[in-house]
A and B are shown apart, each in its own frame.
Chain A
Amino acid sequence: MTRTSEPPTPAPRTDRTVRRSPRSRKSRWSRWASDTGWRHLVAVLVLVFSLIPIVYVVSAAFNPNGTLSTTNLLPDSFSLNNFRRLFTEENIPFAHWFANSLVIALPAAFISIFISSLAAYAFSRFRFTGRRPMLLFLLLIQMFPAFLAVVALYLIFGGIGEYYPVAGLNTRLGLMLVYMGGALGVSTWLMKGFFDTIPKELDEAATIDGASHAQIFFGMILPLAAPIIAISGILAFVGTINDFILASLFLTDREQMTLAVGLKTLVAENAPASYFGVFAAGALLTSVLTVTVFMSLQRYIVSGLTGGAVKG
């Protein structure tokens, strides 16, 4: 990102104010309004829009009654009752759900990112027959997201379960395997784009020093590519946490469920009305996880998301 270059001030506005200023020097306020004021106005409007649901969840989570009808945008009383129910009620194994989500999402993200970085290294640094077709094929196959093949996956894992019960339907390992496969295409492309920007001269210098390809990859490329690895990791991790379609199909035991599937049952049509507060408390705890991850890696996010598309 070329942060140093003067960011584009909407030319016209300054232009107009400059022209107008001799006539109305008195109204400094109107100049502020046309220059910066509208910016704050837009920002505040969008800010309110983005905050309303979040404030609402917080308010619902601390609402002692826990029902939808007694929840307002701003809380009028405060209690930790919903959080307590989350961890004590037998019918709401929230701790299990939370652990399941982590146990599935963390290894899936780690392994798939590692495997994609290996492939991205090959695509970025070596020229071999079939390289271009393979890259195009990756682009194509990632348009067929795993959940479109949901019927086939269901049947495949039904079959796998007969030979290997540990990885069949209703197991966390099986679900993890699917997620690992699903994230491959996107992250390989993202990482290849980043690896391409690391100068090849570095590799050459290392080769002359006698480093093997493995040493170049693990000792040099991977550390240099930390930002993109962080971003691909977050995207894969958050994507897995958010997945509902595969998780709801694979995991049917209440204790095996992930957060997405489990929390959904709390606001299902036949769930007691007071579960809404419990749900909100659970959603809030889940968001602590994702928001922390996001905020701590915020500075990588813009460059990671725009990837090869915006070459600043």
Chain B
Amino acid sequence: MLDQRSQSAGSGTATGMIIKIAVLAVVTALAVWAALPLIRAEAWWALAVEAAVVAIVFHLYLQRRKIPPKYLLPGTLLLIAFQIIPVIMTIGTSFSNYGDGHRVGKDQAIEAIVAAGVQQTPGGTTYLLAAGESASGELTLLLTDTSDGSTWAGTEEGLTELPGAETDETGRITGAEDYSVWDLAELNERQDELTALAVPTGENTGIRVQGLSAFEGASTRSYDESCDCITDSATGTVWHADDEAGVFLTEDGQEALVGWRVNIGLDNYARVLTDPDIRGPFLGVFVWNLVFAAGSVLLTFAVGLGSAMALNRPGMRGTKAYRAVLILPYAMPAFAMILVWAQMFNRDFGLVNDLLGLDVNWFGDAWAARAMALLTNTWLGFPYMFLISLGALQALPADSLEAAKIDGAGGVTAFRKITLPLLLVALTPLLISSFAFNFNNFNAIELLTGGGPFRAGDDAGGTDLLITYAFRQAFGSASSDYGFASAISVFIFIIVATISAVMFRSTRKQEDVYS
């Protein structure tokens, strides 16, 4: 194939040229498509970034001198967009108090607090209420004006018209583009969130929810810039702004419902280290996390190496069949098999208690749950170790073993002094990455135990890993604390990177890693 092509090849063939033009045309088309919403939203910064990216693409692919960047550019762009920026954002978020109650800027927080004091005024507009979430997951009131039937979307940022929403015969919104609309059951369940939400519509007017309808009215609260405070004329309460914590506080230290997003420096990190309510569980989670990762590597490696040693024998009958079955756990979809294991450990009807005649409450006792997690993870991970051990065993230099045999080294000695060290030299990098993988093995814990069992009052469970713990902090049902969750993510990264770096160094394999 190459020969044929190279006949017609200069440094640019006709086919190559056509492909290049086609690709650049697609890039241009995509760029135009992507620019339109940015122009509409007047997001000039984003537009400038986009233009710069397109310019770089054209420049690199139309020049001839530098070849490597042509191959590196697609990967670099993807890496920047979906790995580097998220990592930087995670670090940035970890220095803020971003989370429930601190989602918006200060101005919007003021508007929301003022709107929360809205009292119904006679003759004010009333709305039929539906609720849902926007594409970005923001709680939204979907409102139908009872006087003229027009449809609106209201968030804590304000009210926007929502043309073309689907409504039922009473006029209530049942569906709208880019919004997921709640059914009645969910509406009931999350009534509290709706009652707490106030949609600002003007200086001191807003919309509030009442049952299955909403009304617009005037607020008894007002913001005064000179004292940076909010006063409620009906109750006489005064909230003063605390710019460091991003909240409004009353005289006796009561927080207003809505705060705003501020930079709180290292507070999230300090909380992990100093707050006794967090430090205790965090340390426990950290120790178990280490044990889980190290234990998983040891157990899977022991089982995998054992079976590889057993099957590494030419002429043994059935090796192919054994091998095919032994790697089955690796080929099965891991998420589904973890869920199956979870069912097998069911106390009353599960297979494990049934077969062994036990009555262990695997999900209720912390130690039983930990043993269960390790056993499940061993099942999932040993085929990988089996495969790499088998590969390494077959690549071992036969002469050193011959020499050992001649010197009369016994079985255990030869294994300990020759086979194992040689294997470890080859396999240590893989064992380290297996450790790093298991350190963050979210699936194995989340799908098996969900982090539990939980002792009353603790928010870290007996089998929680740092990653499952952080995930619950960010997206748990109670309240979201993105800042704190991000801080834990950064912690995890530092821990994993340090441990891996130390291990790599101690194996002195770096030269091989990036030669």
Contacts of B16 in A (CB 8 A): 212, 214-215
Bound: A220/B2 CA distance, A:
7
Partner of B388, one of A52, A134, A216, A310: A310
Known contacts A143-B496, A147-B467; decide if A290 and B349 are in contact (CB<8 Å): no
On whether the beta carbons of B333 and A287 are closer than 8 Å, the reply is yes
- Of the candidates B46, B303, B383, B394, the one having the most CB atoms from chain A within 10 angstroms of its own CB is B394
On whether the beta carbons of A36 and B336 are closer than 8 Å, the reply is no
Among B113-121, B248-256, B339-347, B366-374, the stretch in contact with A: B339-347
Question: Chain A: how many interface residues by the 8 Å CB criterion?
Answer: 138
Question: Which chain B residues numbered 426 to 463 have a C-beta less than 8 Å away from chain A?
Answer: 426-427, 429-430, 436, 440, 442-443, 446-447
Among B104-112, B144-152, B481-489, the stretch in contact with A: B481-489
Q: Return the chain B residue nearest A289 by Cβ.
A: B333
B54, CB-defined interface residue at 8 Å: no
A7, CB-defined interface residue at 8 Å: yes
B67, CB-defined interface residue at 8 Å: yes
Contacts of A312 in B (CB 8 A): 391, 394-395
On whether the beta carbons of B137 and A10 are closer than 8 Å, the reply is no
On whether the beta carbons of A309 and B135 are closer than 8 Å, the reply is no
On whether the beta carbons of B12 and A149 are closer than 8 Å, the reply is no
On whether the beta carbons of A290 and B331 are closer than 8 Å, the reply is yes
Known contacts A155-B89, A178-B82, A309-B426; decide if A119 and B136 are in contact (CB<8 Å): no
Known contacts A263-B339, A283-B339, A312-B394; decide if A118 and B81 are in contact (CB<8 Å): no
A5, CB-defined interface residue at 8 Å: yes
Known contacts A143-B497, A245-B446; decide if A56 and B340 are in contact (CB<8 Å): yes
Bound: A159/B446 CA distance, A:
27
A95, CB-defined interface residue at 8 Å: no
Question: Which chain B residues numbered 301 to 334 have a C-beta less than 8 Å away from chain A?
Answer: 303, 306-307, 309-314, 316, 318, 322, 324-334
B68, CB-defined interface residue at 8 Å: yes
Bound: A150/B90 CA distance, A:
8
Bound: A306/B429 CA distance, A:
10
A122, CB-defined interface residue at 8 Å: yes
On whether the beta carbons of B349 and A43 are closer than 8 Å, the reply is no
Min CB distance A61 to B, Å, is: 10
B350, CB-defined interface residue at 8 Å: yes
- Of the candidates B13, B135, B344, B467, the one having the most CB atoms from chain A within 10 angstroms of its own CB is B135
On whether the beta carbons of B349 and A11 are closer than 8 Å, the reply is no
Among B165-173, B220-228, B289-297, B412-420, the stretch in contact with A: B412-420
On whether the beta carbons of A46 and B306 are closer than 8 Å, the reply is yes
Contacts of A259 in B (CB 8 A): 333, 335-336
Bound: A175/B331 CA distance, A:
23
Contacts of B412 in A (CB 8 A): 12
Contacts of A152 in B (CB 8 A): 85-87, 89-90, 93, 486
On whether the beta carbons of A118 and B410 are closer than 8 Å, the reply is no
On whether the beta carbons of A115 and B344 are closer than 8 Å, the reply is no
Bound: A228/B486 CA distance, A:
35
A201, CB-defined interface residue at 8 Å: no
Bound: A42/B306 CA distance, A:
8
On whether the beta carbons of B492 and A158 are closer than 8 Å, the reply is no
Partner of B135, one of A126, A156, A169, A245: A169
A153, CB-defined interface residue at 8 Å: yes
26 A-B contact pairs sorted by A residue (CB < 8 Å):
A1-B395, A39-B311, A42-B310, A60-B340, A72-B351, A72-B354, A73-B355, A131-B68, A143-B493, A146-B82, A147-B442, A149-B489, A151-B486, A151-B489, A154-B474, A156-B89, A163-B43, A163-B46, A178-B82, A212-B16, A215-B6, A216-B2, A244-B335, A259-B336, A287-B333, A305-B384
